[in-house]
Structure 1
Amino acid sequence: MTNRAGSFLRNLSKLVPTSRTRRLGFSRPKIVHSNWNPRNLLFGDFDNRVQSSVRYLFQDALSGDNFQGIGPEIVHTVNRLLCPRRLSFDSKHSVSDNELKKINFRHEASNEDVLTKETKPSPVSLRKLSQECSSLSDVLDIFSEGPTFPSSNYFSAMWTVAKRMSEDQRRVEKQLMFNHPAFHQLCEHTLREAKIMHYDHVLFSLHAIVKLGIPQNTLLVQTLLRVAQERINECDEKCLSVLSAVLEAMKPCKNVDVLRAGLRLLVDQKVWKIERVFTLQAVIKCVGKDAPVGLKRKLEMKALRELDRFSDLNSQNMFEALAAMNHRSVILLNECSKTVIGNIHGCPVKVLITILQSCRDLQYRNLNLFKAIADYVATTIDIWKLKQVLFLLILFENLGYRHTDLMDLFMKKVIDDPGSLNMRSILSILHVYSSLNHFYKSQTPKFQEVMTSSLTGYLHHISSENLLNAVCSFCLMNHFPMALINPLLQKDVINELLVSDDTERNAHKLRILAACLKLDISCHMDIDLELLPPPSTPLYPHEKVTDALRSLLGEGCFSKNTQLPHNYCIDFEVRMDINRSQVLPFSSVVTSADIRRVAILCVPRSAYCLDLGHPKGFLAMKMRHLKIMGFHVILVPNWEVERLEMKDVVTFLKTKLYSTEAFFTAGVNLQSTC
């Protein structure tokens, strides 16, 4: 060996303390790392490096953790550095002087040149592994034949292969992976290489390992988490994106929480230097709902600055990112909504569902966005599965949005093919249509019959609570199938409902059923609910409406918070003559045939569908029952009254009280609510 090469290796050995050096042994003695590079040792000695301010964040978290290993074979001291395998000079592997002279040692030459051809495995890239292998076991077989550095390539290749599989196939392949004889050896190598791998390889390994289902409390996962903590100051923009994806896929634990805190500090420092929009959105999703408000504002401002560079996919992903951070940026959501509306055709169903879920979580209601999505689904409904449309309708119901065309088309499909629905789908359909108070001309009775017939087939399998929910939905729709109601009225079923975990909710729905049976079809419900009196309804003052009625009618001509049978309460009651031409004071003695009772209900925005022109199911049922009890019902929208002047409120009430039709005078901008 030349003096230059010998001096280089001797100096290299001095860089690594003897106590921290360990020879990496493989199952086959002739296999070594072919891509090992001594320059990586410069990044290995973390104990002697100058710690950054971000690094100090993890000092307390790195002590006292108890980890659980994957198995006894992989419990090794992780902080020992990997060293090159020494050249063998025994009789079997001796190298002649003439052969040594042919070796040209240069500073830029790879250390693969110092390995003998007999022990040198062929390098295997991640792309080649993922392309040539069709199963996780294939990757492990290649690893056992000749491992190469870094071992992260094998885990990343396995996850790439797994993504191409179906759920069932992936489940089987994961089990085969755990049982493969080379799996523990791969975990052992990853543990040994953790501190000398490039930082992005550490993160790629961790991401693939988590996605492959390796338990999070294992030594392998926790070690990689701690290495990621120690070296977080090496994180560039690419690593920032991968680290965000890793943390998003992991469950909370001590090391995950500490690493997420470090990521927040790092992002707070580097947010303005992030160049790629996808990286920015990955970081927004990762920082979490409990991130500092200042950091959320910074990320929002950064996203607003990058709006001109947003692609269609960026705009779609922004909804989910903001929902994950629990930050409702109306300006950002409005701009992204415009892009989604303009490119709605061809948008995958999963993306539409994610957008609506994010809008629900953020309480963001954009009528134009919802209408565009519903219009697109309605025009392409033939290519959609029934369950996909139903899931979108459920999300629309959560948002309070009623799209009549889509709901009409879906009702027709249900009538044409009721056999495609299971019990859960039937219950969801009933809830959506009853909650949004949707009816479709002559199709509604047929639809109700189909739903009743389909649900009756599940009568022997349905739980008492689900049966109660279904019957309550039918009651809101003014339909009373006795085939479902009679089993519900059995004493043992009633007792079961009243002793369940959700007793108050069940009792409330039973009272609704009793009121509907009595008022709608004059049927007495043989059940005693006196043991569970309804909770007292909070009394709202409605001061503005009270002052307007006092100014319009005078004292003694109206009453407040009138309690009625069947647990109904009205905000104001006014008594008028039969022609509704004059108001009668409560002190005057008149027969019931000569008066017309008027119920004034102050209703919140949530009692209406999103377009504010259609009452929801419970309000519609209350109005129906009040009319049966002889009341003329007037609805006063709270949100409109609050923004009106007193004179306009008086004009609105006067028009409602004295007119036979609901008209508004000029200058009063109110939605029609009757």
Structure 2
Amino acid sequence: MNNKAHSLLWNIRHLSTSLPRSRVLRICPLGFGRPEVVHSKWYPRNGLLTGFDEGLRPSVRYLFQGISRSVHGCTQTKGISHAAVFKHDRVLCPRSFSSDSEHSLVSNGTSDRDVMKVNFHPNSCEDVLTKKTRPTPVNHKKLAQECNSLSDVLDTFSKAPTFPGSSYFLAMWTIAKRISEDKRRFEIQLMFSHPAFSQLCEQLMREARIMHYDHLLFSLNAIMKLGVPQNTLMVQTVLRTIQERINECDERCLSILSTVLETLEPCMNVNALRAGLRILVDQQVWKIEHIFTLQTVMKCIGKDTPFALKKKLEMKALKELDRFSVLNSQHMFEVLAAMDHRSVVLLNECSKAVIDNIHGCPFKVLISILQSCRDLRYQNEDLFKSIADYMATTFEIWKLKQVIFILMLFENLGFRPPELMDKLMEKAVEDPGSLNMKNIVSILHVCSSLNHIHRGKNREFLEAMVSALTVRLHHISSENLLSVVYSFCLMNYFPLALINQLTKKNVISELLTSGDIEKNIHRLHVLNTCLKLDENAHYKAVHIPLPQLPRPPSHPNDRVAEVLSNLWEDEGCFSRNVQLPHNYHIDFEIRMDNNRTQVFPFSDVDAPLAPNMQSHPRGLLAMKIRHLSAMGFYVILIHNWELRKLRMEDAVAFVKTKIYSDETLPTTDAAV
């Protein structure tokens, strides 16, 4: 034995006898080769210890120096930084553990003498301090195949804990996805109560700084999917570690991180991580290669993202537009809505792709597109008509509630699809018994709000709805009863049985004291007005005592007033902000002869006006026009946006044509 080897062995023996056992080694109880971190007075920037050599015997320092020296030309430094930790006042940087090391420490059951044995050969370049080879890292896919429940995974972990701990969480989430929802809830409860679960959480926290970054992100996703509360120490530790290591994020990790952030509630660590993600995206946006990653990032960054970053992401998406698949185009609506960015150019291009590939489009995608259009205030009649025609053409394959849901979204968007609504009304006439109360309320709301009348079966439809409601009359809640009667009133139809039930004192009292009282009062006022003004109402004497509604706010409409002044060069020919009975308000009043050829100043004698209307108004507006006509007014609808885009000369000519026109009424198919 040469002098160097003899010196090394002498120092090892001297060390084992001179130091107390409690200061020789402290093995991690999980046994996967990770030294236990007792204190944390280390500096992560350089991994150095402050005062580590203080208090150690010279022989201990000589041991570390001797191991790192060259032995017969072979430097013995590999694995030293994590081979042993002496329990002293300071500890090594936790990141010094390497998952690629070939050796690990033994478990707690091994004696100190066995631990300190040296596997030495003068011609070998193997680690000096070693006992046995580290176990092979566990594969979560294989583990998920071998185990049938979450508890089985934890049992496997408790028998032989292996690096990395993230694999156990991934295996449990893989198993949870393939079982039923009820069984999943039960299994998760067992998981939380399993004695090895807390041990696994502790191991993951220790490994957070040393495992691969994508494994860390996948493990966080699995943890949250398994229902671990976000405010737990483990989740917050992982979040903080992800935040500290965010510079390790490549494009794949960027996609995973964005997906995980969508599932997290706002908190200090999540907000800091989201802010870091925005900075990272701002730096790397032009380097993103995959469209799916780009859309995932756009969806994640949030509505409060600076406009400059939103615009940069929009430009990146426009640049990659030629590479968009049909799915990318469909998904872009939801993406833009998620970050509250209304890019008309991008939406128009994606709409073309959706229209061209509308057949076979899943229902969830259709819903997502329409909801996103509503949130973004994006109107595209070609897109809406394409979706409506597709639903009408394939009407038989859809459930009734799916059709109603689509129509509710169209109603929110102000779009009336006549063919699809006709098919729904025909279905209601054929089988009214298949409708539940929620269906009836929704159908009547859509038909009345969009002011749709079935050309051939409108009477049959209304009678079928009344028949279905009359059967349930004594089981209908007061608010539902008011809702359906309100819808019938908008459609100029007055079912006696329903109105009699609604006007009972106890029902009125309930409506005025519970629920959305302001909304209920407004609807009851509408009912009162309809019963007094509409010709189809059979009992004019009914009166419901109600609180007065506040006067509706007046709108300046300065552009229209300027146009009218230029038209007649006299403001005395029209009146502004006219308040009428029944809480009605009109913007401008013009008095003309029966033939609509001459305008009278307001000082002259009133002239009767012929009823008319100029477009297909909706819901309350249609009812208002009907009632104004009953009060002797001729109603002209002018869109402010039409005037704003015209020069004054053209605007005057446009309004003059509207006022003096003797055009016939448009059909109900004409849409605004």
Interval containing the TM-score (normalised by the shorter chain): 0.7 to 0.9
Please give the secondary structure, in 2, of the residue aligned with 1:631.
Answer: coil
Mean CA deviation greater in 549-558 or 332-341: 549-558
Q: Distance in 2 between matches of 1:323 and 1:343?
A: 21
Q: Distance in 2 between matches of 1:248 and 1:596?
A: 62
Which has the greater radius of gyration? 2
Q: How does 1:594-673 map to 2 (within 5 A)?
A: 595-597=607-609, 614-662=616-664
Deviation at 1:47, TM superposition (A): 2.8
Which residue does 1:13 correspond to in 2? none
Q: Distance in 1 between matches of 2:111 and 2:624?
A: 98
Does 2:241 correspond to 1:227? yes
Q: Distance in 2 between matches of 1:20 and 1:444?
A: 91
Which residue does 1:140 correspond to in 2? 154
Q: How does 1:499-578 map to 2 (within 5 A)?
A: 499-500=513-514, 502-520=516-534, 521=537, 522-529=539-546, 531-545=547-561, 547-548=563-564, 551-552=567-568, 554=570, 556-578=572-594
Contact 1:320 1:355 (C-alpha < 8 Å) held by counterparts: yes
Q: Distance in 2 between matches of 1:79 and 1:423?
A: 66
In the superposition, the TM-score normalised over structure 2's length comes to 0.79
Q: Distance in 1 between matches of 2:495 and 2:126?
A: 89
Does 2:451 correspond to 1:437? yes
Which residue does 1:170 correspond to in 2? 184
Which residue does 1:272 correspond to in 2? 286
Alpha-carbon spacing, 1:418–1:648, altered in 2? closer, same or farther (3 Å):
same
Q: How does 1:58-69 map to 2 (within 5 A)?
A: none
Which residue does 1:411 correspond to in 2? 425
Alpha-carbon spacing, 1:501–1:356, altered in 2? closer, same or farther (3 Å):
same
Deviation at 1:577, TM superposition (A): 3.2
Does 2:310 correspond to 1:306? no
Q: Distance in 1 between matches of 2:303 and 2:399?
A: 34
Q: Distance in 1 between matches of 2:109 and 2:582?
A: 98
Contact 2:205 2:237 (C-alpha < 8 Å) held by counterparts: yes
Contact 1:151 1:190 (C-alpha < 8 Å) held by counterparts: yes
Please give the secondary structure, in 2, of the residue aligned with 1:636.
Answer: coil
Q: How does 1:376-387 map to 2 (within 5 A)?
A: 376-387=390-401
Which residue does 1:47 correspond to in 2? 43
Contact 1:245 1:286 (C-alpha < 8 Å) held by counterparts: yes
Alpha-carbon spacing, 1:232–1:503, altered in 2? closer, same or farther (3 Å):
same
Which residue does 1:423 correspond to in 2? 437
2:28 aligned to which of 24, 27, 34: 24
Contact 2:575 2:588 (C-alpha < 8 Å) held by counterparts: yes
Mean CA deviation greater in 465-474 or 225-234: 465-474
Mean CA deviation greater in 165-174 or 385-394: 165-174
Alpha-carbon spacing, 1:459–1:300, altered in 2? closer, same or farther (3 Å):
same
Q: Distance in 1 between matches of 2:140 and 2:444?
A: 51
Q: How does 1:486-501 map to 2 (within 5 A)?
A: 486-500=500-514
Contact 1:374 1:403 (C-alpha < 8 Å) held by counterparts: yes
Q: Distance in 2 between matches of 1:374 and 1:381?
A: 10
Q: How does 1:67-216 map to 2 (within 5 A)?
A: 84-86=104-106, 115=132, 123-216=137-230
1:328 aligned to which of 338, 342, 356: 342
Q: Distance in 1 between matches of 2:320 and 2:605?
A: 72
Q: Distance in 2 between matches of 1:261 and 1:673?
A: 46
Listed one character per residue, the Cα deviations across residues 194-220 of structure 1 (whole Å, up to 9, x for unaligned) are: 222222111111111111111111111
Contact 1:571 1:600 (C-alpha < 8 Å) held by counterparts: no
User: 1:485 is aligned with what amino acid?
Assistant: I
Q: Distance in 1 between matches of 2:92 and 2:196?
A: 19
Q: Distance in 1 between matches of 2:174 and 2:378?
A: 36
Q: Distance in 1 between matches of 2:603 and 2:177?
A: 78
Q: Distance in 2 between matches of 1:20 and 1:255?
A: 38
Contact 1:199 1:234 (C-alpha < 8 Å) held by counterparts: yes
Please give the secondary structure, in 1, of the residue aligned with 2:637.
Answer: strand
Deviation at 1:46, TM superposition (A): 7.6
Listed one character per residue, the Cα deviations across residues 614-635 of structure 1 (whole Å, up to 9, x for unaligned) are: 3111111111112222222222
Listed one character per residue, the Cα deviations across residues 308-336 of structure 1 (whole Å, up to 9, x for unaligned) are: 22222222222111111111111112222
Please give the secondary structure, in 2, of the residue aligned with 1:202.
Answer: helix
Contact 2:27 2:107 (C-alpha < 8 Å) held by counterparts: no
Specify every segment of 5 or more residues in structure 1 that has no aligned partner in the other structure, as ranges.
11-17, 27-31, 52-76, 604-612, 665-670
User: 2:29 is aligned with what amino acid?
Assistant: G
Deviation at 1:102, TM superposition (A): 14
2:407 aligned to which of 357, 380, 393: 393
Listed one character per residue, the Cα deviations across residues 624-664 of structure 1 (whole Å, up to 9, x for unaligned) are: 11222222222222221222344444444444444432599
Contact 2:298 2:336 (C-alpha < 8 Å) held by counterparts: yes
Alpha-carbon spacing, 1:89–1:597, altered in 2? closer, same or farther (3 Å):
closer
Please give the secondary structure, in 2, of the residue aligned with 1:560.
Answer: strand
Alpha-carbon spacing, 1:344–1:165, altered in 2? closer, same or farther (3 Å):
farther
User: 1:493 is aligned with what amino acid?
Assistant: V
Q: Distance in 1 between matches of 2:323 and 2:331?
A: 14
Mean CA deviation greater in 652-661 or 191-200: 652-661
Q: Distance in 2 between matches of 1:539 and 1:600?
A: 23
Contact 2:549 2:583 (C-alpha < 8 Å) held by counterparts: no
Deviation at 1:514, TM superposition (A): 0.7
2:302 aligned to which of 268, 288, 313: 288
Alpha-carbon spacing, 1:80–1:654, altered in 2? closer, same or farther (3 Å):
closer
Specify every segment of 5 or more residues in structure 2 that has no aligned partner in the other structure, as ranges.
13-21, 48-90, 98-103
Q: Distance in 1 between matches of 2:41 and 2:400?
A: 59
Which residue does 1:29 correspond to in 2? none
Alpha-carbon spacing, 1:571–1:89, altered in 2? closer, same or farther (3 Å):
closer
Contact 1:545 1:649 (C-alpha < 8 Å) held by counterparts: no
Please give the secondary structure, in 1, of the residue aligned with 2:427.
Answer: helix
Does 2:373 correspond to 1:371? no
RMSD: 4.1
Contact 1:553 1:583 (C-alpha < 8 Å) held by counterparts: no
Q: Distance in 1 between matches of 2:168 and 2:156?
A: 9
Alpha-carbon spacing, 1:525–1:218, altered in 2? closer, same or farther (3 Å):
farther
In the superposition, the TM-score normalised over structure 1's length comes to 0.79
With a CA cutoff of 8 Å and minimum separation of 6, indicate the structure with the bigger relative contact order. 1
Q: Distance in 1 between matches of 2:305 and 2:405?
A: 31
Alpha-carbon spacing, 1:225–1:371, altered in 2? closer, same or farther (3 Å):
same
Q: Distance in 2 between matches of 1:92 and 1:19?
A: 11
Listed one character per residue, the Cα deviations across residues 340-390 of structure 1 (whole Å, up to 9, x for unaligned) are: 222222221111211111111111122222222222222222222221222
Contact 1:600 1:635 (C-alpha < 8 Å) held by counterparts: no
User: 1:563 is aligned with what amino acid?
Assistant: Q
Deviation at 1:249, TM superposition (A): 0.5
Please give the secondary structure, in 2, of the residue aligned with 1:623.
Answer: helix
Please give the secondary structure, in 2, of the residue aligned with 1:377.
Answer: helix
Q: Distance in 2 between matches of 1:411 and 1:548?
A: 43
Q: Distance in 1 between matches of 2:111 and 2:571?
A: 116
What is the count of residue pairs matched by the alignment? 604
